[in-house]
Structure 1
Amino acid sequence: MRNRTLLIALSILAMTSLADATDGPNVVYILADDMGYSDLGCYGSEIETPNLDQLAEKGVRFTQFNNAAKCEPTRASLMSGQYWQDAGFGVRRGPTMGEVMKSAGYATFAVGKWHLDGNPVDRGFDRYFGHLSGGSHYFQCNASKRLDDKPFKEKPNEKFYMTDANADYAIRFIDEHHKQNPDTPFFMYLAFNAPHSPLHALTEDIEKYRDKYGVGWDKIREARYQKQIASGVTQEQWKLSPREASVPAWDSMREDEREYEATRMAIYAAMVDRMDQAIGRVVAKIRETGDEENTLVVFLSDNGGSASDVTIAEQTPDALLGPSGAGKDGYWVGLGWANASNTPFHSHKVEMGNGGVVTSCIASWPAAVKHPGSITDEPSHIIDLMATLVDVGDLELPTTFKGKKLSALPGKSLRPLLTGDRRESHEALYFHLFHNRAIVSGQWKLTTDWDHPWQLFNLSNDRTELTDVSSQHPEIAARLRKQWEDWYAEVPEKRFTDATGDPQYRRLDDPEESYLRRTGNGDERELVWRSKSKRETKNKNK
Structure 2
Amino acid sequence: MTLTPFQGKIGKTYKESTSDWQGPVAAPSGAPNVVIILLDDVGFGQTSTFGGLIPTPSLDKLAAEGLKYNRFHTTAICGPSRAALLTGRNHHECGNGFLMEWATGFPNYSTMLPRSTATIAEVLKGNGYNTWWFGKNHNTPDWETTVAGPFDRWPTGMGFEYFYGFNAGETHQYYPVIFENTVPVEPSQTPEEGYHFMTDMTDRAIARMKLAKSVAPNKPFFMYFAPGAMHAPHHVTAQWREKFKGQFDMGWEKYREQVFQNQLDRGIIPPGTKLTPRPDWVPAWESLSDKQKRVYAALFENFAGYFAFTDHEVGRLLDSIKLLPDADNTLVIYIVGDNGASAEGGPDGTLNEIRNLNGLPTDLDDVIANLGKLGGPESEPHYPLGWAWAGNTPFQWVKQIASHLGGTRNPMVVSWPAKIKPDSQPRDAFLHLVDVVPTILEAVDIPMPDKVNGIEQKPLAGESFLASFDDPSYLGRTDQYFEIFSNRSFYRDGWKANAQHTRPWRQDLAPGNWENDRWELYHLDEDFSESNDLASSEPDKLEELKKAFDQTAERRSVYPLDDRGAGRLAIPKPPVPGADENASTYTYFPGATRIAEPAAPPMKNRSWTLVADVSADGDATEGVVMGFGGVAAGMVLYLDAGVPVFDYNYFEEHTVVKSNQALPSGESTLEVDFDYAGGGAGKGATITLKVDGREVGRQSMGATVGGRFGIDTFGIGEDSGQPVTDAYQPPFKFNGEIEKVTIKIKPSS
Task: Tell me which of 459, 469, 475 is aligned to 1:418.
Answer: 469
Change (3 A) 1:329 1:214: same
Alignment pair present for 1:125 and 2:176? no
The residue matched to 1:395 in structure 2 has which SS?
A: coil
In structure 1, the partner of 2:496 is 445
Which digits, 9 at most, give the CA deviation of each residue in 1:242-270, with x for residues without a partner? 12312222222222211111110011111
Q: Does 1:97 align with 2:120?
A: yes
The answer to whether residue 368 in structure 2 is matched with residue 315 in structure 1 is no
**What runs of 5+ residues in structure 2 fail to find an aligned partner?**
5-21, 97-110, 141-152, 351-360, 502-513, 574-595, 599-628, 630-706, 711-749
What is aligned with 1:293? 328
Q: Aligned runs of 1:384-533 on 2, under 5 Å?
A: 384-401=435-452, 403-420=454-471, 423=474, 425-450=476-501, 451=514, 452-492=517-557, 503-508=559-564, 514=569, 517-518=572-573
Find the aligned partners of 1:516 and 1:223 in 2 and give their Cα distance. 44
Distance in 2 (alpha carbons) for counterparts of 1:208 and 1:32? 22
> What displacement does 1:313 show?
4.5
Question: In the alignment, which residue of structure 1 is the partner of 2:426?
Answer: 375
Instruction: Give the drift of 1:318.
Output: 5.0
* Partner-residue secondary structure (3-state), 2:302: helix
| One of 56, 62, 68 as aligned partner of 1:55 | 62
Change in CA separation of 1:515 and 1:274 when aligned onto 2, cut-off 3 Å: farther
2:26 aligned with 1:20: yes
Query: Structure 1 residues 45, 324: closer, same or farther in 2, change over 3 A?
Result: closer
Inter-partner Cα distance in structure 1 for 2:186 and 2:235: 18
- What's the CA shift for 1:322? 3.9
- CA shift digits 1:512-531 (9 cap, x unpaired): x6587548689xx89x9xxx
**Residues 78 and 404 of structure 1: is their aligned pair in 2 closer, same or farther, counting only changes over 3 Å?**
same
Counterpart for residue 185 of structure 2? 152
Contact 1:61 1:362 in 2 (8 A): yes
CA distance in 1, matches of 2:332, 2:56: 16
Distance 1:25 1:515 in 2: 45
Residues 1:32 and 2:39 aligned together: yes
How far apart, CA to CA, are the structure 2 residues paired with 1:342 and 1:320?
29
8 A contact 2:123–2:452 mirrored in 1: no
Question: Secondary structure, in 3 states, of the residue corresponding to 1:299?
Answer: strand
Counterpart for residue 376 of structure 2? 326
In 2, Cα distance between equivalents of 1:421 and 1:515: 48
Cα offset, 1:220, TM superposition? 1.1
For 2:132, the equivalent position in structure 1 comes to 109
List per-residue Cα deviations over 1:113-170 (Å, max 9, x = no partner): 011123212211121111111111111122xx11122112113544211211221111
- Aligned partners of 1:320 and 1:236: how far apart in 2? 45
Alpha-carbon contact 1:17-1:102 (below 8 Å) kept: no
Q: What CA RMSD, in Å, does the superposition of the two structures yield over aligned residues?
A: 2.8
Higher RCO, 1 vs 2 (CA within 8 Å, ≥6 residues apart): 1
Deviates more, 1:229-238 or 1:270-279: 229-238
Cα deviation for residue 110 of structure 1 reads 0.5
145-154 vs 328-337, greater mean Cα deviation:
328-337
> Cα distance, 1:380 vs. partner?
0.3
Seen in structure 2, the aligned counterparts of structure 1 residues 325 and 107 have a Cα distance that, compared at 3 Å, is: closer
The structure where helix makes up a greater share of residues is 1
Cα distance in 2 between the residues matched to 1:13 and 1:358: 42
Q: Which has the larger radius of gyration?
A: 2
The one-letter amino acid paired with 2:42 is: M
Distance 1:319 1:170 in 2: 39
2:205 is equivalent to residue 182 of structure 1: no
Give the conservation status (yes or no) of the 8 Å contact 1:264–1:320. no
Give the distance between the partners of 2:314 and 2:375, measured in 1 at CA: 24
Stretch of structure 1 that moved more, 460-469 or 361-370: 460-469
Q: Which amino acid is 1:376 matched to?
A: R
- Distance change (3 Å), C-alpha of 1:103 and 1:404: closer
Q: 1:323 to 1:355 in 2, by over 3 A?
A: closer
> Which of the numbers 252, 255, 261 marks the counterpart of 1:220?
255
Whether the aligned pair in 1 keeps the contact of 2:428 and 2:475 (CA below 8 Å) is no
Cα-to-partner distance string for 1:293-341 (whole Å, 9 max, x where unaligned): 2111111110000111253454366556444863643431121100111
Change (3 A) 1:377 1:421: closer
Deviates more, 1:188-197 or 1:396-405: 396-405
* Residue 316 of structure 2 corresponds to residue 281 of structure 1: yes
Letter in 1 for 2:25: A
Q: 1:140 to 1:12 in 2, by over 3 A?
A: farther
Q: Identity rate of aligned residues, in percent?
A: 29
Residue number among 381, 391, 394 corresponding to 1:344 in the alignment:
394
Superposed, 1:531-542 pairs within 5 Å as none
* Per-residue Cα deviation, 1:399-427 (whole angstroms, up to 9, x for no partner): 13465533321211121111227646322
Shift of 1:233: 1.2
Q: Deviations over 1:361-381 (max 9, x none)?
A: 111112111343231111000
Larger strand fraction of residues: 2
> 2:3 & 2:482 partners in 1: Cα distance?
31
Q: TM-score, normalised by structure 2?
A: 0.63
Q: 1:423 to 1:222 in 2, by over 3 A?
A: closer
**What's the counterpart of residue 200 of structure 2?**
165
**What residue is the counterpart of 1:5 in the other structure?**
none
Answer with 85-94 or 128-137: which moved more. 85-94
Code of the residue aligned with 2:364 in structure 1: it is Q
SS in 2 for 1:375: coil
Contact 2:89 2:434 survives alignment (8 Å): yes
Return the offset for 1:12.
Answer: 10
> How many Å separate the matches in 2 of 1:248 and 1:307?
14
Taking the aligned partners of 1:253 and 1:488, their CA distance within structure 2 comes to 42
Where do 5+ consecutive residues of structure 1 fail to align? 1-10, 497-502, 529-542
Q: 1:269 to 1:509 in 2, by over 3 A?
A: closer
Q: CA, structure 1 residues 313+446, in 2 after alignment: closer, same or farther (shift >3 Å)? A: closer
Which piece of structure 1 moves more, 251-260 or 101-110? Answer: 251-260
Comparing 379-388 with 290-299, which one deviates more in the overlay? 290-299
1:537 matched residue in structure 2: none
Q: Which amino acid aligns with 1:343?
A: T
Give the counterpart letter for 2:459 in structure 1: A
Cα distance in 2 between the residues matched to 1:195 and 1:514: 23
**Which letter maps to 1:357?**
T
8 Å contact kept, 1:26–1:294: yes
Task: Write the mapping of 1:40-79 to structure 2, written as runs, cut at 5 A.
Answer: 40-79=47-86
